[in-house]
Amino acid sequence: MKTQNLFKHYPKGELHVHLNGLVSTDIVRKLLHQEYTSIPPGFDLNQDLVILTPARNLETYLKPWEVLRLIPKSRANLAMIVDNAFSNLKEQNIQFVELRSSVLYLSKLNNVDVETALSWLIDEIKNASSKYKIKAGLILTVSRGNFACTHLSALLEAFKNLDRPDFVVGIDLAGYEDTTSPLELGYLFEKAKNDFGLNITIHAGETGNAGNILDAIVRFKADRIGHGTAAYKSAAVMELLQKNDICVEVCPISNRRTGAIEENEKHPVVEFIKLGVPFVICSDNPSIHASGLSDDYLCFYNETENLEHLQNMFEKQKKYSFIKGLT
Ligand SMILES: [Zn+2]
**Residue 206 annotated among the catalytic residues of the structure:** yes
Annotated catalytic residue: which of 151, 227, 267, 309? 227
**Residue 227 annotated among the catalytic residues of the structure:** yes
DSSP structure class, residue 40: P
For helices 75-91 and 114-132, the axis angle rounded to 10 degrees is 40
Q: Any idea how long the chain is?
A: 327
How many Å lie between the centroid of ligand 1 and the Cα of residue 135?
A: 20
How many Å lie between the centroid of ligand 1 and the Cα of residue 284?
A: 5
Q: What span, in angstroms and rounded, lies between the C-alpha atoms of 308 and 54? A: 28
How many Å lie between the centroid of ligand 1 and the Cα of residue 204?
A: 10
CA torsion through residues 210, 215, 218, 223, sign: negative
- pLDDT value of position 3: 42
How many Å lie between the centroid of ligand 1 and the Cα of residue 249?
A: 9
For residue 324, the surrounding DSSP H or E stretch is: none
Q: What span, in angstroms and rounded, lies between the C-alpha atoms of 67 and 133? A: 30
CB atoms within 10 A of CB 57: 13
For helices 25-34 and 75-91, the axis angle rounded to 10 degrees is 170
Q: What span, in angstroms and rounded, lies between the C-alpha atoms of 268 and 303? A: 10
pLDDT in tens for each of the 327 residues of the chain?
444 588 999 999 999 999 999 999 999 999 999 999 999 999 999 999 999 999 988 889 999 999 999 999 999 999 999 999 999 999 999 999 999 999 999 999 999 999 999 999 999 999 999 999 999 999 999 999 999 999 999 999 999 999 999 999 999 999 989 888 898 999 999 999 999 999 999 999 998 999 999 999 999 999 999 999 999 999 999 999 999 999 999 999 999 999 999 888 999 999 999 999 999 999 999 999 999 999 999 999 999 999 999 999 999 999 999 999 998
How many Å lie between the centroid of ligand 1 and the Cα of residue 283?
A: 8
Annotated catalytic residue: which of 98, 206, 249, 303? 206
Each domain of the chain, given as residue ranges in start order, spans 6-320
Q: What span, in angstroms and rounded, lies between the C-alpha atoms of 301 and 226? A: 20
What kind of fold does domain 6-320 have according to CATH? TIM Barrel (3.20.20)
144 near 176, Cβ under 8 Å? Answer: yes
How many Å lie between the centroid of ligand 1 and the Cα of residue 276?
A: 23
Interior angle at CA 246, CA 242 and CA 250, nearest 5:
100
Q: Write the DSSP string, 230-293.
A: TGGG-HHHHHHHHHTTPEEEE-HHHHHHTTSS-TTSPPTHHHHHHHT--EEE--BSTTTTT--H
Residues with CB under 5 A from ligand 1 (ion): 284
Among candidates 241, 322, 318, which has minimal Cα distance to 275? 241
- pLDDT value of position 2: 47
295 near 1, Cβ under 8 Å? Answer: yes
